[in-house]
Amino acid sequence: MVPPPHKAETELLDHSDSLPGAIKPVVPQSHTESKPIALDLSHHLSIESKIRQKSLLKVSSSYLARDPELLSLAAGLPSPSLFPIEKITASVPIAKHESARNGLWKDDGLLPGTRRDLHKEKDSSLKGHSEYDLSGALQYEQGTGSKQLLKFLKRHTEIVHNPPYRDWDCIMTGGNTHAMETVFRMLINPGDYIVLEEFAFPETVEGLKPLRARMVGIDMDAEGMRSDSLEQLLETWDEAARGGKRPGVLYTVPTGQNPTGATMSVQRRSEIYNICVKYDLVIIEDDPYYFLQMSDYIPGADPGVVQVPKTNDEFLTTLLPSMLSMDTQGRVLRLDSFSKVAAPGLRCGWITGSDGFVERVLRHNEVGLQFPSGVSMAVLHSMLTEAWGQDGYLDWLVNLRAEYTSRRNAIVSAMDKFLPREVCDWVIPSAGMFVWIRVDYTKHPHKDNGIEAVERELFEAGIENKVLILPGTWFKVNPEARDVFFRATFASVSAKDMAVAIKRFGEVLRKGFALQI
Amino acid sequence: MATNGTANSAKALPKAKDLWHHLSPEAVARRPSPLKTAFKYAIDPRIVSLGGGLPLPAYFPFETISATAPDAPFTLYNDPEHSATAPIVEVEVDRYNRNQEPGMIPLATAMQYGQSDGCKPLLQWISEHTEAVHHPPYSNWGCLMTVGNTQGWDAALRLLTSRGDTILAEEYTFSSAMEAAHAQGVRPVPVKVDLEGILADKLDEQLTNWQGPKPKLLYTIPTGQNPTGGTLSKERRKAVYDVLSKHDIMIVEDEPYYFLQMDAYVPGASETKLPSPPTAEQDSEKYGNFLSKLITSYVSLDVDGRVLRLDSFSKVMAPGTRLGWIVAQEPFIERLTRQNEVSIQTPAGFSQAIVYSLLSKWGHNGYLDWLIEMRKEYTHRRNVCLDALDKFFVQPSPHAAKGLTDVVEWKEPSAGMFFWLKLDARKHPLYGQLSPLQLEKRIYEAAIEHGILFIPGSWFRADQDPVDETVQPADDEEVSVFFRGTFATVPQDKLIEGVKLFAEVIAKEFLG
């Protein structure tokens, strides 16, 4: 049947504990022992998640693990000799930390001399070339994803976030959209309330509605979700009036939030975390833009000139602490992804959380995604572990950071130049891909038509003037709009085109608000 | 096939029935993201878009990806070591495809956020393949990419069922599929089968006498069924289809083993090499003959549009591609697209790009050549297995002077990866003292003790409700226990050794 790997069958592959690539605890024992154990938060699991059982078929794997002589006609795995792909070669950049100053890219491509060809063959591991060969990558895999790649990701997570409790783990996903669906189904029963930022990625909202989750959007300011509003909501929660119990889940994009571009300060993160502790909420920290944090914007400076951290250690200190890094209780499920730092088409990410939650995700993966594409994992494994290493990956991220900083600088300087400040304002983003422009609709001649009508009028005038910039109401979680907003991205087009687009949007605003041109 | 096909013949066909009432409330509630509506503006080249949050393809850390694959004429079977003279094909996918190479989805597209029904060129290819193989008999069918049939089945369940619903499944079935249903609060009810598959008259009887809300769908693996290895004949598929059409029940056909259909078994066949298939020059009918030998799928009988067919590259290419597709009527494909948008989004771009390049290089006929080679390979593996079963279970041997045919029965698999041994529990010396389930466990453990692992049949029961072990069946009733083995995975010598070891266990258990 289905590509069957029976869990049964996937489980039967699990000899990997004895292989060199097997995951060993990455934290030295002495270090972990001082950390607390995660709280038991299993009361947060949905009915669907609680019901999931480990397959009977898995019992077989324990026999195979115990007795390597045992001959198995049990697992229905196709023979790798029949896989029609003998070898894969990927050409990838080798980033140097220093190149972040000068750029790694030219004319929509990498500079010559910065690339290296990486190979995976069916039997690389037999030849001693790789711990993870193509025969393995193209075969059924466990629901955790490749152990060898996961080992790298766990070490990376430890270097960057160092979760302050002992029993945390990582599991691979098909990217954060898939991870989001997984954790929503794991934590939410129909009718449950969930707390989000007042503006969110529409796929998040559209994912939650069919699950009959009830969403409450919390007010945002320049730093994202307001902790005072959150506390007030939870403190004054009236079950009878709301027709449901207090929310048990908080979903947030703390860094470079989509669509607002807002980034929470350390203080804000800590406040939100503590409120969730106080009211017993599980936190879904969806953080795909984490490594798109930027250096400060300097008005009037050349947008292309970017401050670059001198070393990777310095780079790590510039990063805001994640909620995971504050989580002494195991109540954060952190969603990480390669989509923004490598490519969306990899469809590959990972969840970090307590063993208890990660095990539930594993049971879900086994009957859904199974595991990310073996081709994606093979290429990532080659690139991250064989070509780059932990340090080389940070070098790549430093390069990316410089690119995004210079793009952010370009759009903000265009906005300074072309947008009429008398009717709009914005917060300069310090992370992510988006800038969020608030437009003062009360000054618009048609303000009496309402917020949404003014917004639509401006959006349509934008299309007319050949600029596409997205209306804020497309992102609202609560039914009522409270202001006119537009989301612009600085990720997708050249600095020159960004300036053209912003200039056109400036014209739309001036015309719409009947300002002097 | 309005979405992705162009078949002229489709125009003459009627549209599918409106079966919207089968959708779950969750599926009905899905709405498109407003962001998707913005894409229509971005098509105008004069518009500068600051809309979609798409990372620049220049930042993808992949300049090219290439793959080496075998090429026609394939020599897999005759040359398993894949010697240096074997024909190969190289495919390369680069970032932008500025040279406009045909048959390439550039990485800038494949690795970008994209359409949630899959990369268009690959989808088009798969639609053409589906038309050539299955000819669905209604006009508005379509295809949607999945990350394989496990996810395809998860999506089908979410599309058609809700907590508290029941579904039908073969009495013994892929247990992981039932576990997926179970977690969603959906209860599988077994349908009576024989060694070939579903018994249509029993199914009709079951549905006619059904108490309470009717089951939402039938989950079936009609070809090379897991675990029984059974393949249902065309006539019986037609009968099952008619019963389900009469009772207005949806069908999910899970068909990963469809192209692992085999030639008829001739005893002793494993001793001789199978002949090489004729080349296209030698036999212009080669592809037509191959296609005509394939069993009729449910989707090719589907005049109503009530079949969701789950197809996959896992068994005919590699599981790690995590690449499959669903064939169904367009209104369902549209709902599944909405579902993909908020879950997997799309299958991985590398998988889609490489598989598409390979299929393009091979061409439709080259892909059929590959499938013909797979057929041969699996026919041989199955032959080795059946010859070994004959040698150790039928023929007299040191462990069983009269053979074991009194105790063991099997049907020759004509598709798939599995063989299914039916043991007559009444012939076991401890029958009566031990329940069939206890006997099964005893044999399973004795086999492990003897160094051979088979999977007990009860693990595949569609309903995993506790069995009342105190009840002994009537004397005249057949009492069977089953074991599943596979001939797909291990090399020939191991397979023969495995069958021998299991025969020794059965002989010891039953004959003492």
Taking 90 as the threshold, does the pLDDT of residue B486 lie above it? yes
Tell whether A221 is covered by a domain: no
Region B249-276: mean pLDDT is 90
| Cβ atoms of A352 and A305 closer than 8 Å | no
The reported pLDDT for the residue numbered A269 is: 98
Q: How confident is the model at residue B77 (pLDDT cuts 50, 70, 90)?
A: confident
| Cβ atoms of B66 and B91 closer than 8 Å | yes
Select from A69, A371, A491 the Cβ nearest to the Cβ of B56. Answer: A491
Amino acid identity, residue A20? Answer: P
A345/B226 touch (CB, cutoff 8 Å), yes or no: no
* ipTM of the complex model: 0.94
B187 beta partners:
B166
DSSP line for A286-308 = E-TTGGGB-PPP-TTS-TT----
Distance CA A146, CA A381 (A): 9
- Beta-carbon contacts of B497 under 8 Å, excluding residues fewer than 6 positions away, are A71
Using alpha carbons, select from A249, A193, A200 the residue that is nearest to residue A224. Answer: A200
Closest-CA distance of chain B to residue A409, Å: 15
The reported pLDDT for the residue numbered A381 is: 97
- The answer to pTM > 0.90 is yes
Distance CA B294, CA A492 (A): 48
Cα torsion A474, A477, A481, A484 to 10°: value is -50
Percent of chain A topping pLDDT 70: 91
User: What are phi and psi for residue A246, nearest 5 degrees?
Assistant: -55, 145
Tell whether A49 is covered by a domain: no
For residue A167, what are its two tokens?
A: 């029993």
B220 beta partners:
B253
Interchain CB contact of B54 with A (< 8 Å): yes
| Cβ atoms of B236 and B200 closer than 8 Å | yes
- Beta-carbon contacts of A25 under 8 Å, excluding residues fewer than 6 positions away, are A32
Cα torsion B379, B380, B385, B386 to 10°: value is 60
Q: Reduced to 3 states, what is the DSSP secondary structure of residue A505? A: helix
Distance CA B177, CA B462 (A): 9
Taking 60 as the threshold, does the pLDDT of residue A428 lie above it? yes
Distance CA A504, CA A330 (A): 48
> What's the mean per-residue pLDDT of chain B?
91
Distance CA A232, CA A238 (A): 11
Q: Beta strand pairing status for A332-337 and A282-286?
A: parallel
Using alpha carbons, select from B407, B398, B481, B409 the residue that is nearest to residue B438. Answer: B481
User: What are phi and psi for residue B88, nearest 5 degrees?
Assistant: -130, 160
| Cβ atoms of B361 and B66 closer than 8 Å | no
Reported as type and span, the H/E element at residue A109 is strand A109-110
- State pLDDT tens for residues B270-296: 887 776 666 666 677 889 999 999 999
Region B460-487: mean pLDDT is 72
327-356 in A: which are within 8 Å (CB) of B? 339-340, 342-348
Interchain CB contact of B44 with A (< 8 Å): yes
- State pLDDT tens for residues B127-142: 999 999 999 999 999 9
Tell whether A184 is covered by a domain: no
The reported pLDDT for the residue numbered A106 is: 73
| Residue at token pair 């598409």 | B356
Select from B48, B66, B176 the Cβ nearest to the Cβ of A89. Answer: B66
Select from B152, B342, B351 the Cβ nearest to the Cβ of A203. Answer: B342
| Cβ atoms of B418 and B191 closer than 8 Å | no
Q: How many structural domains compose chain A? A: 1
| Cβ atoms of A194 and A251 closer than 8 Å | yes
Tell whether A407 is covered by a domain: yes
Amino acid identity, residue A399? Answer: N
Domains, chain B, ordered by start: 113-259+294-347 (3.40.640.10), 396-511 (3.90.1150.10)
Q: How confident is the model at residue A444 (pLDDT cuts 50, 70, 90)?
A: very high
Distance CA A137, CA A121 (A): 10
Q: Beta strand pairing status for B64-70 and A87-93?
A: antiparallel
The reported pLDDT for the residue numbered A123 is: 83
- State pLDDT tens for residues A301-357: 888 788 889 999 999 999 999 999 999 999 999 999 999 999 999 999 999 999 999
Q: Beta strand pairing status for B408-409 and B418-424?
A: antiparallel
Closest-CA distance of chain B to residue A56, Å: 7
Taking 60 as the threshold, does the pLDDT of residue B9 lie above it? no
Q: How confident is the model at residue A24 (pLDDT cuts 50, 70, 90)?
A: very low
The reported pLDDT for the residue numbered A26 is: 45
Amino acid identity, residue A377? Answer: M
Taking 70 as the threshold, does the pLDDT of residue A25 lie above it? no
Contacts of B380 in chain A (CB under 8 A): none
Measured in whole angstroms, the distance separating CA B412 from the mean position of its chain's CA atoms is 19
Tell whether A431 is covered by a domain: yes
For residue B275, what are its two tokens?
A: 């002949």
> Looking at chain A, which residue has its C-alpha nearest residue B326?
A2
CA distances from A301 to A16, A304, A306, A434, B266 (A): 54, 8, 9, 20, 82
Contacts of A48 in chain B (CB under 8 A): 183-185
- Helices assigned H by DSSP within A4-98: 7-12, 29-33, 47-51, 58-66
Interchain CB contact of A141 with B (< 8 Å): yes
Distance CA B303, CA B242 (A): 10
The reported pLDDT for the residue numbered A422 is: 96
Select from A69, A115, A468 the Cβ nearest to the Cβ of B49. Answer: A468
DSSP line for B409-428 = E-----BSSEEEEEEEGGGS
Tell whether A457 is covered by a domain: yes
259-318 in B: which are within 8 Å (CB) of A? 310, 312, 314-315, 317-318
| Cβ atoms of A223 and A240 closer than 8 Å | no
B191 beta partners:
B170
- State pLDDT tens for residues B405-428: 999 999 999 999 999 999 999 999
Q: Beta strand pairing status for B408-409 and B166-170?
A: unpaired
Select from B343, B354, B448 the Cβ nearest to the Cβ of A178. Answer: B343
Reported as type and span, the H/E element at residue B64 is strand B64-70
Instruction: Find which of B40, B48, B107, B159 to mutate to test the A interface (most A CBs within 10 Å of its CB).
Output: B48
| Cβ atoms of A41 and B296 closer than 8 Å | no
The reported pLDDT for the residue numbered A131 is: 85
Query: Helix axis angle, A227-235 relative to A266-278, nearest 10°?
Result: 10
CATH of the domain at A482: 3.90.1150.10
Show the domain range for A422.
Answer: 403-512
Taking 80 as the threshold, does the pLDDT of residue A20 lie above it? no
Tell whether A504 is covered by a domain: yes
Percent of chain B topping pLDDT 70: 93
Measured in whole angstroms, the distance separating CA A56 from the mean position of its chain's CA atoms is 34
Tell whether A460 is covered by a domain: yes
Select from A138, A181, A400 the Cβ nearest to the Cβ of B59. Answer: A400
Q: Is B477 exposed, middle or buried (0-12, 13-18, 19+ CB in 10 A)?
A: exposed
B431: DSSP letter: B
Using alpha carbons, select from B464, B382, B412, B417 the residue that is nearest to residue B172. Answer: B464
Distance CA A399, CA A393 (A): 10
